[in-house]
Structure 1
Amino acid sequence: MEKRNLKIQVGSEIGTLRSLVIHSPDSGIGRVAPTKAQDWLFEDIVHLDTVRRKEYDLYVKLLMYFLDSENIKGKLNEIDAPENKRQYFKPGKSGFHSSSKVIEFEELLAQILEQKNIKESLTAAVCAIEGCSYHLQQELLKTSPVDLARTFVSGSHLDGDMIFPPIPNLIFTRDIGIAINSHILLNKPAKTARSRETLLARYIFFTHQIFENYRNNILEIPDTIKYFMRPGEEHGERTTIEGGDVMVVSPKHVLIGVSERTSASGASESIKLLFTNDVVDKVTVVKIPPKRDFMHIDTVFTQVDKSTWVVLGSISSQQFNKGSEAVDYLSEKRNKEKPEIVQFERGKITEPKTFNCIEALLEDISKNDLGCTLPVRFIYSGNNMFPFDVREQWTDSCNLLALKEGVVIGYDRNDKTVEAFKDNGFDVILAADLIEKLESGELSAEAMENTLILMPSAELSRARGGFHCMSMPLLREPLT
Structure 2
Amino acid sequence: MKGICVRSEINPLKKVLLHRPGKELLNLTPDRLPELLFDDIPFLKVAQQEHDAFAQILRDNGTEVVYLEDLMTDVLNLHPELVEPFLYQWLFEGNIKTKRWQDKLYDYLVNNFKGKALVEKTMEGITLKEMGGASAYSLQDLIAPADDLIVDPMPNLYFTRDPFASVGTGVFLHKMRFPTRCRETIYADYIFKYHPDFEGLITRYYDRDFHANIEGGDVLNLTEDTLAIGISQRTSPDAIEIAARNLFTDPNAKIRTVLAFDIPACRAFMHLDTVFTQIDVDKYTVHPAILGPLTVYEITPGKDDPADLQIKRVDSDLEHILEKYTHVDKVHLIYCGGDDLIAAAREQWNDGSNTLCIAPGKIVVYQRNDVTNPILRDAGITVLEMPSAELSRGRGGPRCMSMPLIRAE
TM category, shorter: 0.7 to 0.9
Residue 189 of structure 2: SS of its match in structure 1?
helix
Asked if the contact 2:16–2:406 (Cα under 8 Å) also holds between the matched residues in 1, the reply is yes
TM-superposed CA distance for 1:199, in Å, is 1.7
Aligned to 1:453: 384
1:205 is aligned, of 192, 195, 208, to: 192
TM-superposed CA distance for 1:159, in Å, is 6.6
TM-superposed CA distance for 1:250, in Å, is 0.8
- The one-letter amino acid of 1:60's match is A
Asked if the contact 1:112–1:119 (Cα under 8 Å) also holds between the matched residues in 2, the reply is no
TM-superposed CA distance for 1:317, in Å, is 2.3
How many Å separate the matches in 2 of 1:133 and 1:7? Answer: 34
Structure whose residues are more often strand by fraction: 2
Aligned to 1:141: 110
- 1:25 and 2:11 aligned: no
Residue 338 of structure 2: SS of its match in structure 1?
helix
Question: Is the alpha carbon distance of 1:223 and 1:159 closer, same or farther for their aligned partners in structure 2, counting shifts above 3 Å?
Answer: closer
TM-superposed CA distance for 1:364, in Å, is 2.2
Instruction: Give the aligned CA root-mean-square deviation in angstroms.
Output: 2.1
- 1:150 and 2:120 aligned: yes
- 1:344 and 2:312 aligned: no
User: Which structure 2 residues correspond to residues 329-408 of structure 1 after superposition, within 5 A?
Assistant: 339-347=294-302, 349-350=309-310, 352=312, 354-366=314-326, 368=327, 372-373=328-329, 375-408=330-363
Which runs of 5 or more residues in structure 1 are unaligned? Answer: 69-100, 225-237, 319-338, 427-449
User: Which structure 2 residues correspond to residues 432-443 of structure 1 after superposition, within 5 A?
Assistant: none
1:75-129 CA distance string (max 9 Å, x none): xxxxxxxxxxxxxxxxxxxxxxxxxx31100001111122222111101101112
TM-superposed CA distance for 1:415, in Å, is 2.0
- 1:118 and 2:82 aligned: yes
Q: Percent of aligned pairs with the same residue?
A: 33
Aligned to 1:90: none
1:283 is aligned, of 226, 243, 258, to: 258
- The one-letter amino acid of 1:15's match is N
Give the paired residue count: 378
- The one-letter amino acid of 1:105's match is L
Aligned to 1:304: 279
- 1:14 and 2:7 aligned: no
Asked if the contact 2:285–2:333 (Cα under 8 Å) also holds between the matched residues in 1, the reply is yes
How many Å separate the matches in 1 of 2:205 and 2:403? Answer: 16
How many Å separate the matches in 2 of 1:422 and 1:296? Answer: 25
How many Å separate the matches in 2 of 1:358 and 1:203? Answer: 38
TM-superposed CA distance for 1:355, in Å, is 3.5
Asked if the contact 2:174–2:208 (Cα under 8 Å) also holds between the matched residues in 1, the reply is no
User: Which structure 2 residues correspond to residues 454-473 of structure 1 after superposition, within 5 A?
Assistant: 454-473=385-404
1:62 is aligned, of 32, 57, 61, to: 57
Residue 214 of structure 1: SS of its match in structure 2?
coil
How many Å separate the matches in 2 of 1:347 and 1:284? Answer: 15
Aligned to 2:164: 177
Greater CA deviation, 144-153 or 343-352? 343-352
How many Å separate the matches in 2 of 1:31 and 1:351? Answer: 45
Give the 4+ runs in structure 1 shifted more than 6 A: 157-161
Residue 35 of structure 1: SS of its match in structure 2?
helix
TM-superposed CA distance for 1:351, in Å, is 5.6
How many Å separate the matches in 2 of 1:200 and 1:416? Answer: 38
Residue 109 of structure 1: SS of its match in structure 2?
helix
User: Which structure 2 residues correspond to residues 242-321 of structure 1 after superposition, within 5 A?
Assistant: 242-278=215-251, 279=253, 280-317=255-292
Which runs of 5 or more residues in structure 2 are unaligned? Answer: 132-146, 304-308
- The one-letter amino acid of 1:354's match is V
How many Å separate the matches in 2 of 1:45 and 1:363? Answer: 41
Residue 34 of structure 2: SS of its match in structure 1?
coil
